[in-house]
Amino acid sequence: MLILSELDSSSMAQLPGNVYRIPRHFNWPLVIGGYALLALVMMMGRWGVALPESAAYLELARWLRGAMPLAEVSSPFAWRLGLPALASALPGELHHVFATLNWIFVTATALLATATVRRLGFGTQRALAAGLLVILSLPAVWYAPAVLVEPGSICMRMLFVFGVLTGRPGLALAAALAGTAIREEDILLLAWLAASGQVSKVRMGTALGAAIGWVAALHLWMTPAAAAAFAGSLLAPEHAGLADWDHLLSLGACAGFVLPLALAGLRDAPARIRPLRGLLVLMVLMVLPGLHAALGGHADGRVVWDLYPFLLPFAVALGMPREVAQVPEVRQLQVARRA
C-alpha cells in the first residue's frame, strides 16, 4: 500500500498540454477489491489443482512441517524452497494454501502492473488495461490456481519492472532477491542489475553472493542426486515436444494476445520505458529453460506467462504518442541512479 499511495502525491499533479496524464484522484481501494474479486472468480474453477510438478512443492512443504523425510522429496524442483516454506508456515490444507497464496500473487501482480503504467503517465485506461491483462488471461485461469510457484515469481518480476521503470533500483534489487528464493532463474534479474550499474558495487556484490550461495547450498545440500539427474536430462532431452498438441495450444493461447500487442507496442514505446528494451537479452535467457522443455515435450503456456511482466508495458503502449508535448507532467525517471 505504501508503494501505491506514493503514486498519489502532490508532485504528480496534472499540467495542461501534456499527453501523459496521471489523474490526481485514483480509487485504489475500489481497484484492489475489484482485482481481488475478479481474480478469485477466474481461479475458482481449478482451485488447488495439482499438476505433475506440484508433488515436489507439496512434499517440500510437508517436509518443512515435519510430516515426511527430506530423502523422499521429489526432484528436480526441491531447491525452489521459498514459496513452499511460506506455505508450510500457514495453517490449512496445502492445496488450498498454495491456491490462496497464488491468488494473492496474481492480485498483487495486477496491482503492480496498474501502478507501473499509471506511474509512467500512460493514463487511467491503459493502467487498468495492464492489470486486466494479468487477470483476464489463460494463465490466471489454468495455471495460477494450481500448486505452482510461478505466480510468486511473476509477481516479483513485476515488482522488479516497477522498480526499474520508476527509478527505484533498491526495490528492484529486493524483488530480484525474493524472486531468486522462489525460482532460481530469477537470479538473472540480479545479473541484469549488476550489468546496468544502477546499484552500488558493494550492495550488488553482497546480493549476488547471497543469491548464488542460496542456490548452490540448496542444490548441494538438499538434492545432489536430483541435481545430477537434472543436469543429465539437459544433455539428452526427449524429442517429443512438437507432437504434444495440448502444450502447443497452451503456448499459442498464452502468447496469442499479450505477445502480439507487446511486439506492436515496441514501435510506439515512449522513451520512459526504453530501459525495458535492455531486458530483451534477459528475456531470451529466461526463455531457454522453456525451450529445453519444448524439446522434451513439456513446454506449455507458462513459457510466455513468465515474460508477462516485461511485455505488459509495451502492450499497453500501443498507439501512444511518441513525443511529450510541452512540460512533462511526470518527473523524469532517473533509472540509472545508484542505490
Q: Is the per-residue pLDDT at 137 higher than 60? A: yes
Predicted confidence (pLDDT) per residue in 54-96, tens digit: 988 999 999 999 998 887 777 667 678 899 999 999 999 999 9
Q: What is the 3-state secondary structure (H, E, C) of 61-104?
A: HHHHCCCCCHHHCCCCCCCCCHHHHHHHCCCCCHHHHHHHHHHH
pTM above 0.85, yes or no: no
Predicted confidence (pLDDT) per residue in 151-197, tens digit: 999 999 999 999 999 999 999 999 999 999 999 889 999 998 998 88
- pLDDT-derived band at 268 (thresholds 50, 70, 90) equals confident
Whose CA is closest to 38, among 155, 133, 166?
Answer: 133
| pLDDT above 70 as % of the chain | 75
Mean pLDDT across the stretch 114-141? 94
What is the pLDDT at residue 14? 40
What is the pLDDT at residue 308? 94
What is the pLDDT at residue 9? 42
Cα torsion angle, 288, 87, 142, 153, sign: negative
Q: What is the 3-state secondary structure (H, E, C) of the chain?
A: CHHHHHCCCHHHCCCCCCCCCCCCCCCHHHHHHHHHHHHHHHHHHHCCCCCCCHHHHHHHHHHHCCCCCHHHCCCCCCCCCHHHHHHHCCCCCHHHHHHHHHHHHHHHHHHHHHHHHHHCCCCHHHHHHHHHHHHCCHHHHHCCCCCCCHHHHHHHHHHHHHHHHCCCHHHHHHHHHHHHHHCHHHHHHHHHHHHHCCCCHHHHHHHHHHHHHHHHHHHHHHCHHHHHHHHHHHHCCCCCHHHCHHHHHHHHHHHCCHHHHHHHHHHHCCHHHHHHHHHHHHHHHHHHHHHHHHHCCCCCCHHHHCCHHHHHHHHHCCCCCCCCCCCCCCCCCCCCCCC
The number of CA neighbours under 13 Å toward the Cβ of 117 is 30
What is the pLDDT at residue 243? 43
Mean pLDDT across the stretch 248-266? 83
- pLDDT-derived band at 222 (thresholds 50, 70, 90) equals low
- pLDDT-derived band at 233 (thresholds 50, 70, 90) equals very low
| pLDDT above 90 as % of the chain | 47
Of 94-103, 196-205, 248-257, 263-272, least confident by mean pLDDT is 248-257
CA-CA distance, 304 to 339, in Å (whole number)? Answer: 31
What is the pLDDT at residue 76? 67
The number of CA neighbours under 13 Å toward the Cβ of 71 is 0
Q: Is the per-residue pLDDT at 312 higher than 60? A: yes
What is the pLDDT at residue 73? 78
Using CB atoms within 10 A of its CB, is residue 27 exposed (0-12), middle (13-18) or buried (19+)?
exposed
